[in-house]
Amino acid sequence: MPVAGRCDCLRGDGEISGNTGTGAPPHFDADGITQYLTMIRRHNAAWAAWFASWGIRPHVVRYEDLDRDMVATTRGILGFLGLDLEAGRPITAQHHRQADDLNRQWIKRYRTTRS
């Protein structure tokens, strides 16, 4: 039974997949990456402006922080929301990091081409 101020559900059911269903291997596209980065920056700026216009101070979660220490990041979110985790209930990842060596190679390559 849910208790007010207590978080009983910590996982989502959504999946994220970079596979477009074509079976084709990914290819490096610096211009495409730049377009996505520009779009992400615009979206982040729009969200920041929207929150500011309503006087809302959101709790920001960076993917890198979540990836580095999922438990601490999750506890930070719960604390921000004023929720307590049930005593003895562990915080466990339900998904696995998707980045791999290809991601690291592309990041390095992109930074080299854009510097």
Q: What is the 3 state secondary structure string of 52-111?
A: HHCCCCCCCCCHHHHHHCHHHHHHHHHHHHCCEECCCCCCCCCCCCCCCHHHHHHHHHHH
Same-domain check for residues 83 and 107: yes
The answer to whether residue 16 scores a pLDDT higher than 60 is no
Q: Mind listing the pLDDT tens digit for each residue in 30-61?
A: 999 999 999 999 999 999 999 999 999 999 99
Q: Is the pLDDT of residue 107 over 60?
A: yes
Between 95 and 112, the more confident residue is 112
User: Would you state the pLDDT for residue 11?
Assistant: 37
- Binning pLDDT at 50, 70 and 90, where does residue 19 land? low
**Residue range of the domain that includes 36:** 27-58
For residues 92 and 115, membership in a common domain is answered with yes
54 and 70, same structural domain?
no
Please say if the pLDDT value at position 10 is more than 50: no
Q: Total structural domains in the chain?
A: 2
